[in-house]
Amino acid sequence: MRSIEYSQKDILIFNGVINLIKGGANPYLITVSEIAASAGVGKGTIYDYFESKEEVIKKAILFNFNNEIDYFYKKIATKKGFKEKYYEIFNSIVENLQNKFSTVNILMTLGKLPEFHISEKQDSCEFNKHILRIQAIIDDLLVSGYKEGIIKKIESQYYQNMVIKSSLFSFTNYMSMQMIYKETSVKEAMDAAYKIVIKSLN
């Protein structure tokens, strides 16, 4: 099932990268020295485990993406009702957006990250897996809504999907641009995003 297994050292290095990015570093401007220092290993060690700087950063980002989706998935699974799950997502977004680099940012820019030159087959495959996992979260949500009668499943799969994504986009956009939405509280933004789902799916 697990397509990629990483060694302890791999993960140590990934965390070096992730911490830099979470600390505000621009992935394109990170140096190998910084990664080595952040990971607490020698520069040479990085090249014992990876082919190039690009590979390290790319894999670290995907690794982190994976982990955050796992975490996201589990958190949502703890909640039972549609609305509870939905607001749990909002809370995760709030929590997550403290980091400059978060799954949420990725969910939002869905498909933007691969700009980090995802070209090789391996990467592309990895990326598809992420999409599927996000899809699973959305599907889980839709199922809940359907069961509870909140959603009347008369719409197309695509439409339902997009409603969820759009709604989440609205909240993420609020969070990341809070400075231009000074008159709206977090609670109001959550409610607005939720209202979009409810109205759009009825």
Partner DNA sequence: AATGAATGAGCATTCATTCAT
Partner DNA sequence: GATGAATGAATGCTCATTCAT
| Pattern 110-149, DNA, x by CB under 7 A | ----------------------------------------
156 binds, among DNA, a second copy, none (CB under 5 to 8 A by kind): a second copy
Place of tokens 């959603």: 151
Q: How many residues bind DNA (CB under 7 A)?
A: 18
Q: How far apart are CA 119 and CA 112, in angstroms?
A: 14
Distances (CA, A) of 98 to 85, 95, 111, 185: 21, 6, 21, 17
Kindly indicate which of the ranges 46-54, 83-91, 140-148, 187-195 contains the residues binding DNA, using the contact rule CB under 7 A.
Answer: 46-54
Q: Least distance in Å: CB of 159 to a second copy?
A: 5
176 binds a second copy (CB under 8 A): yes
Diameter of the chain by CA atoms?
58
112 binds, among a second copy, DNA, none (CB under 5 to 8 A by kind): a second copy
Q: Least distance in Å: CB of 43 to DNA?
A: 4
Distances (CA, A) of 55 to 90, 126, 179, 185, 200: 32, 13, 35, 41, 42
Residues that bind DNA (CB under 7 A): 9, 30-33, 36, 40-45, 47-49, 52-54
Residues that bind a second copy (CB under 8 A): 26, 28-29, 105, 108-112, 115, 117, 128, 131, 156, 158-159, 162-163, 165-167, 169-170, 173-174, 176-177, 180-181, 183-184, 188-189, 192-193, 195-196, 199-200, 202
